[in-house]
Structure 1
Amino acid sequence: MPVYPLFGLNQGGKSTTVSAERHLNLYAEIVPEGDKSRLVFYGTPGLSLFTSFGDTTVRGALAVGNLLYMVHRGTLYEVNNAGVKTARGTLNTTSGRVDLAYNGTQIGIVDGVNMYLYTVSSNAFAVVASGLFANPISITFQDGYFIACFANSGRFQKSKAYDGATWDALDFATAESNPDNLVRVLADHGELVLAGELTIEFWGNSGGQDFAYSNIRGATLEFGLAAPWSLVKFNDSLAGLFKNRMGQVQIMMMAGHALQKISTPEVDYLINSYATVADATAFAYMLGGHPMLQVNFPSAGKSWLFDASTSLWTPLESGLSGGRHLAEIHVDFLNKPRVTDYANGNVYNLDPAVYTDNGAPIARELVGRHLNQSYSLLTVHRLQVDFETGVGQVDGSDPQALLQISRDNGHTWGNELWTSIGVIGSYLTRAVWRRLGAARDFLFKIRVTDPVKVVITGASIEVEQGR
């Protein structure tokens, strides 16, 4: 029986007639020659509950040493490794994302209205009352200074060195390459990245007497940040959702003072079909040597995962209704990725050894390449998908794999055909479907929704060419 390369790395977008490939809640690993398969798909991590703040969402998070700081409604909480929460201060707002930064002794928090300062050693919490401009929306730390930008303004301001309570009204500058507003400030690789609506500027600490920072001439990018909360540190760089003056958005990663597109034309096509992208959010984490970037589109109800080691994109979903992934804000806390829920106050561990999203099922799905013969019928006698079998649950239940077939280029799908992938310990189980009919074009969809480990290494198929 011939081995057919049923699965590939493409992610179909514009037309299923061209490509209908899809890998949902799966990431790929390319293994060396001589192993069983060059291309293996693994299930993405599940979510287990770490702690919860109730019904409303967490607004921001920052890890400092062995403690986690989170803003929920109008309160800053300190959270220990056991998930125990201690209130440390009160904000004047109760909704909307907040930005946090740490200068070694103090945590600065901005919420679009005020800046707040929490001193870790003394637990002192206060509103920054003087010197700081109004309506700070983003904050970062670099070279001893807190640096903030402000709503509807191109200005940014720095604090006194290692003193977030002291701001001089003259210690500011304006991103001048274009009269657009700044939407995020972020320190990266010893430089200050000023992300505006239409341009991005890079400034460095030149040690000037009047103002320490100066513009790095010739480095300005003619791209704007299309979604403020999409800009994140990723794989020793920055990534986010960007847009230039030609229109449409792309997911890009910085390479020095340049941008490299990492979204494919198919992904570009899909995300530009969303009615709203300005509310996109992103976070990054490492998964067994795979640098992962998750981009969420809240208004569209969609989530995408990019793996920098393979350049593969995969959609992420929680549950079986096709909605977005639950995770919204990420923080690496005690060497474990923790994520907040976009819909409530839950905080989760992001864990590859967990096979549900806080109890909700995770659908793992592969749609393969076209098996096509233009001038004669193909008859498929047998299809075997090589799963890691015998991974059933401890209760003895028998996990199942679903096969559906399309014979019209992916426009419609046939009956659900089920087979076992083995109760726990049944390692010799084979996932096989027989007598699958005839067509000129076949597409095969494989789907698993049971809460078990999913590993797919390939497929073999017995095909007869007819007249």
Structure 2
Amino acid sequence: MPKLPFGIGAYARQRGDLPELPVINMFAENAPTEEGSVVLQSRPGLVPALAVGSGPIRGMYQADGVFGGAMFVVSGSTLYRDAAALGTIGGTGAVSFAASPLELLVNAGTTIHSYKAAGLATVAFPDNANVVRVAYIAGYFIALREGTQQWHFSKVLDGRSWDGFDFANAENEPDRLVDVVIVDDVLVLIGSRSIEFWPRTGDATIPFAPTQGKVFDKGAITPGCAIAYDNTFAFIGAVESVVPPAKPSLRVYVAANVPTGVSDVGIEEKLSKSASYALWSFTFEGHEFLVLRLSQGTWLFDAATRQWCEFTSAGLSNWTVQTGRGGLFGDAANGTLWAFGAGHSDNGGVLERRFRAGFPLSGGSVTSHNLRLTTNAGRTPDLSGYASDPVVEMRSSRDRGATWGAWRQTALGQQGKYRTLIEWRRNGQFDAPGGLFEFRVTDPVPFTAAAVAINEQAGGRGR
């Protein structure tokens, strides 16, 4: 057998008690230099960049050309420009922003707030109705009226001026509008059961009109669950409609010619058990990650590899980050804005990297004389202290992950020991249903995984 398949995408399925394949704080990347043409890379550690209020960080916005590229943050119930407080934002819902070069609108499910150079103001909206989302396109601010099919457009370049007659209805289905995104200069109106596309008309009286014959019979579950992503948009929606109080099966979709599900059954099982949902995205070294934050964890979908992974924070039940913009990430509990650092620890704490490999057996047995990991040995940046002699740990299971043996350490190589053989010997005998091996690194050192092999020949430990 000698090469073992290892999980390059996070997978967990409780129904049927299938073995779990976690990919924790690592992500897959195509690597033509490796035998399997793929490698698991570690995410960088988090370092604090800025403290903004007491938190949590509920929303972030930054764009070149908008107020000099300033970072706007909703921390708790306060809007900040960089670290300067601007005023209170009403509402406890998902935060949305919309900006022209000279004005920023902020909404959290109730009133609209407008920031200009002179300061922050509450916007008078027709009928004093609540708004669930705001957007900006081609000189117009867009607002979705709560609990209805109505969406309103502002006066040109003026997010503080709204005429009660300047609205339209998304009429394909009798569902309420819950979100809006802008894709290719087209207004995408997302209801709870349908999605419509409204391009510009060039007419000042009716600036947008629906594209006839283009309607998706899917919708988003709640505000904050649809975003522009990978030159299109993504959303969390129901697989099919159900009659309350039944709960619909949920799926993560990326729109193409039709909405295409990108979540596997394991992710969808987690969606069905979550008490909250949010989507956001960020780009790191060519990987455009779609971030799915649920009440029980955070999973990321990579547009390049089409694989999922999971990001976690030591000592917490979820990743400490819950939103991001402009290379910074907002904390879910306090006012910290984080950035990816050069090291491999989260603010000096543990950054666990973990994955699994294995083989199935339907009969017979296999004795594991050795188990080898192909990784980047000898890359520790430290010449003294505990991280100068880092280790990688392995444990094994003979019952598809129901129970595990003890963790066993082997050296990951001191600085410059690039040819260190990463190997565990005398691992015992495995019979049906097979062998499952889990690997982890908690020392603050670089760590990749390119291959796992069993019963390889030749080569000693000290090379």
Tell me the TM-score normalized by structure 1.
Answer: 0.88
Opposite residue 461 of structure 1, the aligned amino acid is: I
Alpha-carbon contact 1:133-1:169 (below 8 Å) kept:
no
Structure 2 equivalent of residue 433 of structure 1: 424
CA distance in structure 2 between the aligned counterparts of 1:204 and 1:388, rounded to whole angstroms: 50
Structure 2 residue runs of 5 or longer lacking an equivalent are 242-247, 458-463
Q: 1:419 to 1:454 in 2, by over 3 A?
A: same
Opposite residue 370 of structure 2, the aligned amino acid is: R
Structure 2 equivalent of residue 458 of structure 1: 451
Which among 197, 202, 218 is matched to residue 223 of structure 1? Answer: 218
Opposite residue 13 of structure 1, the aligned amino acid is: A
Alignment of structure 1 residues 91-170 onto 2, 5 Å: 91=88, 93=90, 95-119=92-116, 122-129=117-124, 131=126, 133-170=128-165
Opposite residue 356 of structure 2, the aligned amino acid is: V
CA offset at residue 36 of structure 1?
Answer: 5.0
Alpha-carbon contact 1:379-1:463 (below 8 Å) kept:
no
Partner secondary structure for residue 437 of structure 1: strand
Please state if 1:349 is matched with 2:345: no
What are the superposed Cα offsets for residues 414-458 of structure 1, whole Å, 9 maximum, x if unpaired? 121111112333323222111111121211111111121111111
Alpha-carbon contact 2:34-2:450 (below 8 Å) kept:
no
Q: 1:218 to 1:39 in 2, by over 3 A?
A: same
Alignment of structure 1 residues 16-415 onto 2, 5 Å: 19-32=19-32, 35-63=34-62, 64=66, 65-79=68-82, 85-87=83-85, 89-91=86-88, 93=90, 95-119=92-116, 122-129=117-124, 131=126, 133-208=128-203, 210-246=205-241, 247-256=248-257, 258-272=258-272, 274-276=273-275, 279-298=276-295, 301-320=296-315, 323-332=317-326, 337-351=327-341, 353-372=342-361, 374-394=362-382, 395-397=384-386, 398-415=389-406
CA offset at residue 129 of structure 1?
Answer: 2.5
CA offset at residue 72 of structure 1?
Answer: 2.4
Q: Which segment drifts farther, 360-369 or 401-410?
A: 360-369
Alpha-carbon contact 2:201-2:207 (below 8 Å) kept:
yes
CA offset at residue 94 of structure 1?
Answer: 7.0
Alpha-carbon contact 1:41-1:457 (below 8 Å) kept:
yes
CA offset at residue 318 of structure 1?
Answer: 1.0
CA offset at residue 45 of structure 1?
Answer: 2.9
Partner secondary structure for residue 229 of structure 1: coil
CA distance in structure 2 between the aligned counterparts of 1:10 and 1:209, rounded to whole angstroms: 49
Alpha-carbon contact 2:13-2:20 (below 8 Å) kept:
no
CA distance in structure 2 between the aligned counterparts of 1:180 and 1:130, rounded to whole angstroms: 22
Opposite residue 70 of structure 2, the aligned amino acid is: L
CA distance in structure 1 between the aligned counterparts of 2:250 and 2:152, rounded to whole angstroms: 29
Alpha-carbon contact 2:140-2:153 (below 8 Å) kept:
yes
What are the superposed Cα offsets for residues 297-324 of structure 1, whole Å, 9 maximum, x if unpaired? 02xx211011111111112211156x21
CA distance in structure 2 between the aligned counterparts of 1:144 and 1:310, rounded to whole angstroms: 36
Q: 1:317 to 1:432 in 2, by over 3 A?
A: same
Q: Which segment drifts farther, 122-131 or 164-173?
A: 122-131
Q: 1:362 to 1:416 in 2, by over 3 A?
A: same
Partner secondary structure for residue 392 of structure 2: strand
CA distance in structure 2 between the aligned counterparts of 1:387 and 1:51, rounded to whole angstroms: 34
Structure 2 equivalent of residue 82 of structure 1: none
Opposite residue 346 of structure 1, the aligned amino acid is: T
CA distance in structure 1 between the aligned counterparts of 2:262 and 2:89, rounded to whole angstroms: 39
Opposite residue 311 of structure 1, the aligned amino acid is: R
CA offset at residue 53 of structure 1?
Answer: 2.5
Q: 1:371 to 1:400 in 2, by over 3 A?
A: farther
Opposite residue 242 of structure 1, the aligned amino acid is: G
Opposite residue 114 of structure 2, the aligned amino acid is: L
Structure 1 equivalent of residue 408 of structure 2: 417
Tell me the TM-score normalized by structure 2.
Answer: 0.89
CA distance in structure 2 between the aligned counterparts of 1:369 and 1:158, rounded to whole angstroms: 56
Partner secondary structure for residue 369 of structure 1: strand
**Identical pairs, percent:** 27
Alpha-carbon contact 2:57-2:333 (below 8 Å) kept:
no
State how many pairs are aligned. Answer: 441
Please state if 1:5 is matched with 2:4: yes
Partner secondary structure for residue 269 of structure 1: helix
Q: Which segment drifts farther, 5-14 or 342-351?
A: 5-14
Q: 1:316 to 1:345 in 2, by over 3 A?
A: same
Opposite residue 53 of structure 1, the aligned amino acid is: V
Alpha-carbon contact 2:94-2:108 (below 8 Å) kept:
yes
Opposite residue 325 of structure 2, the aligned amino acid is: V
Q: 1:431 to 1:112 in 2, by over 3 A?
A: same
What are the superposed Cα offsets for residues 61-86 of structure 1, whole Å, 9 maximum, x if unpaired? 2113331111223432211xxxxx22
Q: 1:221 to 1:443 in 2, by over 3 A?
A: same
Alpha-carbon contact 1:133-1:150 (below 8 Å) kept:
no
Structure 2 equivalent of residue 442 of structure 1: 435
Q: 1:10 to 1:102 in 2, by over 3 A?
A: closer
Alpha-carbon contact 1:134-1:150 (below 8 Å) kept:
yes
Opposite residue 400 of structure 1, the aligned amino acid is: V
CA distance in structure 2 between the aligned counterparts of 1:178 and 1:101, rounded to whole angstroms: 26
CA-atom RMSD, angstroms? 2.3
Which structure dedicates a bigger proportion of its chain to strand? Answer: 1
Opposite residue 281 of structure 1, the aligned amino acid is: A
Partner secondary structure for residue 215 of structure 2: coil
